[in-house]
Each structure stands twice: as C-alpha cells, then as structure tokens.
Structure 1
C-alpha cells in the first residue's frame, strides 16, 4: 500500500475560522534557504526546481528499492523577517527570508539522499543542489489554522493570531512563521487556495 503521510500525521489537517494548539512531532525535511520576494526572486524558483526532482527521486527509490511507496508531501516554507509587520501589514516581500521544505519519511536515510542527489546532479537540471540539505526539524508546540484564499489575504489572519489568540491564551511567539501549501498554486484559482498557517509558541 502507498503510505499517505499527510493523512497519518494529524498536524497536516487544520480548520478554517479557528486556531488550534498542536504539538508537531520531529521529522526530517529537504531544505533550501533563500531571501526575497518569492514572486520575483530567481532563487525561489530555482529552489523549487531543485527540491522537487530530489523529492520525487527519493519517492521512487523508496518504491523501487525498498518496496515502500508513499505520496510526496506538499510544499512547505518557513518565513521570517526582522519585523513581524513585514507579514501582517506592509507585506513587504523583498524583506522576507525563507526556507522551502519537503517532509521525507523516516525510513529514508542520509545515504539515500546522497544517492538521489548524485543522480539528479548528473541530469544537470537542478540549479541549487549545493544548497539542498536533509535535516531534522523539531517544531514542538504550535498554533495553526487553515487559510482559504489568496496568499496576500493572510495578513488579517496572522494579525489575529499574533496579537489576539496568542496573548489571550498566555502564549508567546517563537520560531518562524510556517506555511503548508495544500493546493497547487499553478492549478488552483487564488480564492480556492488552501494553506495551513502555523506559528510556534511558548
């Protein structure tokens, strides 16, 4: 059977219109860091062009060599800036730093990652392989919600999260803003996009 990690991990489900406190288990991810507006920065497009071939290469290695098939997980990203207002009010994307992520199942090892990365390198189509890494990420306690609609309409939701729900529940912000893209933006109308917005808290 094909494993569906998104279904098996309860933190990949969220509800619109409410904030939920969840504990996110440690997991390993493909990661690439970058800076700037994701709509215009060439590094963002190059990061995705690097991440996806390796993610699918690992899937097929797992299926063909290990007999364990799984559904490739959705794209995720961590976002941060010197000022939270860059997300909630001005949305000045040129000031954003980011890490794009893709969750990899625990039975795949750094050796599997190195093997697939070498195969992808031989094809010469992944421009940032030298920046791609496989790394464990332990996010812990978080608040999350499901945002329905365009990415640029997230500001009011994040403002309520940061300045309403978090202080009202005796929590404080920590870590980096996290988004999980349940929809493919290339094939989905902006008003139909489904994105989990997640914020680590203490």
Structure 2
C-alpha cells in the first residue's frame, strides 16, 4: 500500500477544529513563487499549480523509467500547500485585495528526493510535456513553532478562524512571529468537487513564546 502523508502524519495534515500549538520540522517542497489573485482564470497561480503537479508526478512515477532514486518507496502525492502574504505585511492579509497577494505554492517532497533527483525531474518533465518548468524550485522550509487549526468552509471566511487561533496562542503565552515565516495553508479538498461549506483547509501561523523575543 502506498505511503500516505496525510494518514501517517495526522498531526500535520488532520488537526482538530480547535487551535493547538505544534512544532513543524524542516521539509522540502517543489515550489513556485508568484503574485496575484489565485482565482483569476488562466492566471499565474493556476498555471503554477500545473507546474507543481507536473514535477510531483514525474518524481512519483520515476520508478517506471531509467532514473533510480535511492530510497524510493511508493507514496501518495501530498496535498497542495501555500504560503501567503501581501506587500508590507505577512500577518494581516486583506482578502478584499487578492490581486495584491504574494505566494509560494508548493507540494511536499518525500525525504528521499534530493536536489539532483529534483533537477532530473525538471529536465524529464520539460522534455516529455514540452513545457517551461523554469519557475519551479527545490524549496526548503523550516517552519518551527506554529499555532494550527482545521478551517471548515470558504477561503474568504478564514479570518474568523485566524482570529480564534491568535487568541488561543496569546492565551498560551505565544505571539505572532512573521520575521522570516508566513501564513501557511494546506488544501485537503478540491474546490471544483467540494461544496464550499465542506472545504477543509489546514491553517498554520508562526508564533514564538512572548518571552523569547530575539
């Protein structure tokens, strides 16, 4: 049976609806950076998602070709994720001005995927799909301590959940820490096939102990 990150690491991908504090280890991703409204038809964000899945599935199916990845095992491609911010603010996201969004959209890579394997996948996908994958990067993110929660419903209603998370963190002696980290979302539902009220999104925001300022 294929290894499923959502099931094996439920603490990262299937948190409860109530906020909690969690420490996230360093992870590697296939990622694309961009700006603009993610809902724009044929926009930069939607094109970026196509690039991510092109590389992710090239790596997943590598065992069928000539490139051997050391330590490879069968796995389910992890869910789509995103880091979001706006110019001048990593904490206060204005959902009324989505055209001002800056983002890094990404999909987790298994730990056995090294930089050389990633570079092979980019060349392989470029040749087979006749597409430009030059925007795709091997991205390492050390997230650290965060407040995390499962958000149910529309993406536009996330602020209510975010405020609940912020209050919980404060009550536990934590404060926001966006000095080098970002608002993070993990998408567990396909909005094309899921009713809005049933959409599940993991929301994760960086925090630090109030007495641990540096």
Q: TM-score, normalised by structure 2?
A: 0.85
Alignment of 1:15-94 (within 5 A): 15-16=16-17, 18-40=18-40, 42-62=43-63, 65-66=68-69, 68-81=73-86, 82-83=88-89, 84-87=91-94, 91-94=96-99
The answer for unaligned runs of 5 or more in structure 2 is 209-214
Return the structure number with greater helix share: 1
Q: CA deviation at 1:62?
A: 4.8
The DSSP-based 3-state class of the residue aligned with 2:23 is strand
Which 4+ residue blocks in structure 1 deviate beyond 6 angstroms? none
Quote the Cα distance in structure 1 between the aligned partners of 2:204 and 2:130: 32
**Residue of structure 1 equivalent to 2:211:** none
Quick one: distance in 2 between partners of 1:197 and 1:62?
33
Contact 1:49 1:126 in 2 (8 A): no
Deviation of 1:51 after TM superposition, in Å, equals 0.6
Structure 1, residues 6-30: CA drift from partner, whole Å, max 9, x if none?
22223112111x1010111111101
- Say which of 154, 158, 163 aligns to 1:154: 158
CA distance in 2, matches of 1:63, 1:75: 24
Q: Give me the whole-angstrom Cα distance separating, in 2, the residues matched to 1:125 and 1:39.
A: 25
CA drift of 1:126 comes to 3.9
Counterparts of 2:174 and 2:64 in 1: how far apart (Å)?
42
TM-superposition CA deviations, 1:85-137 (whole Å, max 9, x none): 434xx53212211100100111111111111111111134544x111111221
Which residue among 129, 137, 140 is the counterpart of 1:136? 140
1:154 match: secondary structure: helix
Deviations 1:7-62 (A, max 9, x none): 2223112111x101011111110111111111117110110111101001111115
The 10-residue stretch of structure 1 (96-105 or 152-161) with the greater mean CA deviation from structure 2: 152-161
Counterpart secondary structure, 2:184: strand
* Structure 1: gaps of 5 or more residues: none
User: In the alignment, is the contact (CA less than 8 A) between 1:140 and 1:200 conserved in 2?
Assistant: yes
- TM-score of the superposed pair, with normalisation by structure 1: 0.89
